[in-house]
Amino acid sequence: MPKNSKVTQREHSNEHVTESVADLLALEEPVDYKQSVLNVSGEAGGKQKAAEEELDAEDRPAWNSKLQYILAQIGFSVGLGNIWRFPYLCQKNGGGAYLVPYLVLLIIIGIPLFFLELAVGQRIRRGSIGVWHYVCPRLGGIGFSSCIVCLFVGLYYNVIIGWSIFYFFKSFQYPLPWSECPVIRNGTMAVVEAECEKSSATTYFWYREALDISNSISESGGLNWKMTLCLLVAWSIVGMAVVKGIQSSGKVMYFSSLFPYVVLACFLVRGLLLRGAVDGILHMFTPKLDKMLDPQVWREAATQVFFALGLGFGGVIAFSSYNKQDNNCHFDAALVSFINFFTSVLATLVVFAVLGFKANIMNEKCVVENAEKILGYLNSNVLSRDLIPPHVNFSHLTTKDYAEMYNVIMTVKEDRFSALGLDPCLLEDELDKSVQGTGLAFIAFTEAMTHFPASPFWSVMFFLMLINLGLGSMIGTMAGITTPIIDTFKVPKEMFTVGCCVFAFFVGLLFVQRSGNYFVTMFDDYSATLPLTVIVILENIAVAWIYGTKKFMQELTEMLGFRPYRFYFYMWKFVSPLCMAVLTTASIIQLGVTPPGYSAWIKEEAAERYLYFPNWAMALLITLIVVATLPIPVVFVLRHFHLLSDGSNTLSVSYKKGRMMKDVSNLEENDETRFILSKVPSEAPSPMPTHRSYLGPGSTSPLESSGNPNGRYGSGYLLASTPESEL
């Protein structure tokens, strides 16, 4: 063999060698392929750098333990929505009746699709972009859309963590700063702030002291410097948690995932000991069966299932991609889904116990105020004392006595009763007052805590819990952005992660204006919901109908070592796609029938008023939805018409020091197969299909026959060790 041949160079050099097929066939001695690691790369031209990076895929970071991984998935799926959105929906949609549609949709949509995302991430060991490019290149845009939705959610979600940080530091005071209305002194006179007097101390603190909110989304009002600083702290915490990938975030999860359960357990015990807690819990579990037939309830339950499990965001796929391939992701799906539901129910018990306590206090306050009105009417002879039952004692007036007195007066003074301005003071009315989202945490719950003994301690614990819940979800959200981008474009991990946090902070300044809360509503209620539904249904279609449910079940059997229940086959194939199609249609109809809007706080009225988004805000909202879903049709069209290569026409194989790494481009199909398998064309399997970069998550041989085109070795996917039987 010539001394200057590439083979001779290889034997005396540690550098990677790239050579043509002609060199290989003319000069090279037979290679021991059994000791080789194969990489079929979809990168055009088979560049050496890409081959090296794919070869190193077996060095992909991995979780230190199964517990760390489970805690990461729990931390991502269990978030702020479990604490305030689920209890609010339960209160709004019929108490215990809401649990029925939620459980049904969790079983037929949530768990199957959660299992699906865990399985594809673990099998392919890539982020969302690589996974869906692998399964179906024409639907590769799903991964890009997932990244965009994660970005949208991360932008406003970290603002909520910033609010929690603000309240956390404000909690180290006694009494709590939102327990009383501020007093304005004008010389010798002391006057209670009018806006606070018309509303309440906690409401005033939230809207005026924390947000310093404007009257509408059109009034920017400039930056709120306190919340800007808190947002900077929030992004700094998130950046430090995710900068090293799972090596740093995995350790954070031990605290951020477990601490909230300690706090919830403490709050549950404390809440059950509160007077009136039983009233709140009974109200929760008393079902209003008519709500079960309301399509709106089912639509909201399905949306909550998506958000609760993190479906479509890419975080579930990203976390599972760091698992070993023999990990039992079937068990993981059931376990995490159960813990998520258990957490929602536990949080709802805590919330309703505390709200029951608050409702009793507010009801007693109502009785006292209206009793004073009645005494005034008695003293001014507007009402006769004969209307007052003899056993009623105004100095120790109970709610039962007041209700009896109220009914007598209403019956006798039927014609002029409304002019008296008396309230019925019913406990049910107080319990039925639903407070949505952030209002539940920052208004209703904070007000209840002001009545707790040692209220600063409980406030510190509560907002520290919110910070940790938000941090766990933000780590998963950031993984849904960074993991697929780093896997696909091979950018430096630390630099890209820090760049994402800095970029997100500056864009997030939109949400810390005085009108920022209205933009949070826009992003939370509208910009992510519809794109997320589209992403999830396309994920299901890509696996169940394009890749094939039967084949996917076979892949799972090989990966897990047992065959999953037949239940999943029917859910993936028929039930889940149908339910999600109905959900998507209902969401679009809902947007058309009910114009999007938001609850604005009007300072002069000291009350909320529902306003519709102005035209420019509607244009922004539509733009956000289009931007989030646009990658899906763009990638589909480009690959359908071969305007964007999927890398299926090239094959990259490289070698270094006994590990085979060569670049082979534009081979004839039979020669390509013969070269890899060391067989003559007649003995080799049928050639690989063209225009397919990823050929399916695993099979029984490296290159499948044309009857089974989705071979194990797809573009850009490396199997770290290749069993001899497969070669």
Interatomic CA distance for residues 416 and 409, integer angstroms = 10
Angle at which helix 576-593 crosses helix 529-541, to 10 degrees, equals 160
What residue has token string 């059109």? 218
Backbone angles phi, psi at 510, to 5 degrees: -55, -35
Bridge partners for 207 per DSSP = none
Bridge partners for 223 per DSSP = 513
**Under a CB-based contact definition with an 8 Å cutoff, are residues 646 and 692 in contact?**
yes
Angle at which helix 549-560 crosses helix 111-124, to 10 degrees, equals 70
**Residue 75 annotated in ligand binding:** yes
Buried b vs exposed e over 227-238: b needs ≥16 C-beta within 10 Å? bbebbbebbebb
**Residue 473 annotated in ligand binding:** yes
**Rounded to 5 degrees, what angle do the CA atoms 249, 235, 486 make?**
55
Nearest residue to 608 via CA among 216, 255, 253 = 216
* CB neighbour list of residue 355: distance below 8 Å, 6 or more residues apart: 280, 431, 444, 448
**Residue 491 annotated in ligand binding:** no
Can you tell me whether residue 511 is helix, strand or coil?
Answer: helix
**Residue 82 annotated in ligand binding:** yes
Token pair in block for residue 394: 């105004």
**Residue 41 annotated in ligand binding:** no
Give the 3-state DSSP-derived string for 547-600, with helices as H, strands as E and coil as C: HHHHHHHHHHHHHHCCCCCHHHHHHHHHHHHHHHHHHHHHHHHHHHHCCCEEEE
Say which DSSP state 476 is in.
H
**Under a CB-based contact definition with an 8 Å cutoff, are residues 313 and 150 in contact?**
yes
**Under a CB-based contact definition with an 8 Å cutoff, are residues 660 and 31 in contact?**
yes
**Residue 468 annotated in ligand binding:** no
Amino acid identity at 360: N
Is the dihedral angle over the CA atoms 40, 42, 45, 50 positive or is it negative? negative
Buried b vs exposed e over 57-69: b needs ≥16 C-beta within 10 Å? beeeebbeeeebb
Nearest residue to 78 via CA among 340, 342, 255 = 340
**Rounded to 5 degrees, what angle do the CA atoms 717, 720, 722 make?**
100
Amino acid identity at 222: G
Indicate the annotated binding residues: 75, 78, 82, 340, 469, 473
Indicate the annotated binding residues for Na(+): 75, 78, 82, 340, 469, 473
